[in-house]
Amino acid sequence: MKQKRVASWLMALALSVGLMGCSAANPQASPEATTQPTQEVFQGEDVRLAVLSGPTGIGAAKLLTDSDSDATVNHYTYTVATDNNEVVAGLTAADGEFDIAMVASNVAANLYNKTEGDIQILALGTQGVLHILESNGGTAVQSMADLKGKTIYATGQGANPEYILRHLLTANGLDPDKDVEIVFADPNEISAKLISGEIETAMLPVPAATAAIAKSQGSVRDAIDLTSAWNDLDNGSQLIMSAVVARTDFIEEHPQAVQTFLEEYEASVTYVKDNAEQAGQLVADLGIAPSAAIAQKAIPQCNLVFLSGADMKPAINGYYEVLYSIDPTAVGGAVPDDGIYYVP
């Protein structure tokens, strides 16, 4: 019995050694190290940008200044324009003078409809910048209804300001063609006549309204904030007055440049809103507003926003419907379909 147990033990030992030998002879293959592909850092692209002077362009001041200092990823060549028509011509020209532009929101709708989708909206900007001003120290105008019988000097004939004024008058029980007289003129002329007391009532956007009040030494006051008057209607629409648009071919061919622009523009808007004093100087240096002092006072009144992607349609579609109901040509003959909004 003892011999059998010893023999069994020796066999088990031999088998164990044999298995160990096999294991050593056939080691398990270690997984090969995988090399992760190197992700290239986007170096930016050349972008031709058009910015309107006044409230439409104020939010871009930091972006433009950073571009001048080579502190942006994209490389921007920009134009500060004084008229929507100049920007429209540059966007729709055969050689495409501009890739991206900041325009009035109704102009964006017109461009989309008239080019059959060759221009899209990348983002929405200012929410409302119009004010009714009263001169000669007057206090008679406290609401839209108080404008009955008045002569209102205004800027923006055939554009957002006229449509907004007419809609607010109508919504408050006044006939724009019978109960008031609307006289359209250059904003500089209106400001001068307000300050001198030659005219009593006017509608101006900031920063022109801001400048008129500041220069009047107390004789001109802000009677009605038309953004507040619009919100009081509670009609489900927001008063979105500006938009950032781009040529569709540029969007399709340069998606990363477009995404980078949106990031840099949003950062610019945030900076301007949060740093009115410093941003005011940038705005003045770029010629977007007449002086740093005026720009600093105007920035809080500009209602600057940054809305992009899926946030755009809920914000502005109601406004487009209002414009269409007033005058279909205001939006190019139809309320724009969803294709107008660039949603990556």
Residue-wise pLDDT for 66-111, tens only, equals 999 999 999 999 999 998 899 999 999 888 899 999 999 999 999 9
Q: List Cα–Cα distances, 92 to 13, 116, 119, 205, 328, in angstroms.
A: 90, 12, 9, 27, 21
- Average pLDDT over the chain, rounded to whole? 90
> What mean pLDDT do residues 323-341 have?
96
At CB < 8 A and 24+ separation, what contacts does 284-290 make?
285/65, 286/57, 286/61, 286/64, 286/65, 286/80, 287/53, 287/80, 288/51, 288/53, 288/54, 288/57, 288/58, 288/60, 288/61, 288/80, 289/53, 289/54, 289/58, 289/207, 290/207, 290/211
What local confidence, expressed as pLDDT, does residue 36 receive? Answer: 61
- Residue 30 above 90 pLDDT? no
- Residue 271 above 50 pLDDT? yes
What percentage of the chain reaches a pLDDT higher than 90?
84
Domains located in the chain, CATH noted: 46-127+238-340 (3.40.190.10), 130-233 (3.40.190.10)
**Could you report the per-residue pLDDT of 162-216, keeping only the tens digit for each?**
999 999 999 999 999 999 999 999 999 999 999 999 999 999 999 999 999 999 9
What local confidence, expressed as pLDDT, does residue 39 receive? Answer: 67
